[in-house]
Amino acid sequence: MKTDILVVGAGPAGLGAAIEAASCGADVCIVDENLRAGGQLYKQIHKFFGSKNHYAGQRGFQIADALVRRTEELHVPLLLDTRALGLMDSGDVAVLRDGKAEAVTAKKVILAVGAKENMLTFPGWTMPGVMTAGAAQTFSNVHGVLVGKKIVMIGSGNVGLIVSYQLMQGGAEISAVVEAAPEITGYTVHKNKILRAGVPVYVSHTVAEARGSGHVEEAVIMEVDEHFQCIPGTEKTIEADTILFAVGLNPRTELASMFRCEMTSEGALGGVLPIHDEFMRTSNPRVYVCGDETGVEEANSALDEGRLAGLHAAASLGFENESSRERIKEVQNSLMELRSGKYAAKRLACKERIIRKGAMYYA
């Protein structure tokens, strides 16, 4: 198979990239290892806020549907259940489809593979009933299955708060939200929902142990000091059949490494990630990156980064006009606005450092 641009990942970043590149006239193909397009969006049932360009007022799965419809209108092939394996010696991209490996020849590759959830280890962490918040959200919002009735959520960022509230809507009891930081870390709008519902919140605490006979029956939590070390004698036992983790994400960098993209590290964006310039180009001029792979932010930022990568990748192949040049500026300005709030100061500083490093490859 041959294409101008291969997009790996059909989340908001990948779909945004494909839509913009195809709108410019480039031949685009998307591959995604999942059975359904949309990435994290398809399990998001809450309404998004922001601007019209970011589908404000619509729920995540509705945004995913709208983006997929647009790719269909542009006749972009969307190959699901298809995994990108890596770079071949020939320069082609190896993909696994229908149980067979095949080569894709692409002039440009846009990696939009997202991030993976973190876990904590402690006595009992492998017991049935311990899982990530994302897994619980998939069970409840996609398959209609509650993972438990009495749940302890570890982590009070937006994911922990949103998933807790959604599980409550589904009929579960949130026995506690546990946060190692000295205060709730998620947005006020999400925090207030949890507090109004009367959910106990334990800040400066972490989970120390899961107890039970064959499955979780209790969660033991402990206070932590300013260095996040457990303080002896502060144990509290909470009845629970499920312990969920919403303790951050790490960018998925395996494919970027295979494509010989240079890496850097930014803690506020999730750790190790590929360097990119202001157009999302990596140190490998053939490869672009976008979305959570370039630093864990929000769906709106991922969508815009994908748009930017798609526009510039198409332009680099000659699919450019005055309208697309203006569109690049518009998307860059949108990203700056998304990173201008008080919650985004650290992320903005990280992004500026990354972009400065990326610019050195194209000076």
User: Which structural domains are found in the chain, ordered by start?
Assistant: 2-116+249-362 (3.50.50.60), 119-245 (3.50.50.60)
d(CA 177, CA 167): 13
d(CA 251, CA 261): 14
pLDDT tens-digit profile of 124-175? 999 999 999 999 999 998 899 999 999 999 999 999 999 999 999 999 999 9
pTM of the model: 0.92
Query: How many angstroms separate the first and last alpha carbons of the chain?
Result: 34
pLDDT tens-digit profile of 193-216? 999 999 999 999 999 999 999 999
Please tell me the number of Cα atoms within 13 Å of 289 on its side-chain side: 31
d(CA 139, CA 232): 36
Distance of CA 117 to the CA centre of its chain: 9
Between helices 188-196 and 158-169, what is the axis angle to 10°?
40
Low-confidence ranges of the chain (pLDDT < 50): none
State the maximum Cα–Cα separation within the chain, in Å, rounded to a whole number.
67
E strand segments, the chain: 2-8, 28-31, 78-79, 82-87, 93-97, 100-111, 115-117, 130-132, 150-154, 173-179, 201-203, 205-211, 218-223, 236-239, 242-245, 249-251, 263-266, 271-274, 287-289
Please report the pLDDT score of residue 342 as a whole number: 75
Amino acid, single-letter form, for residue 77: P
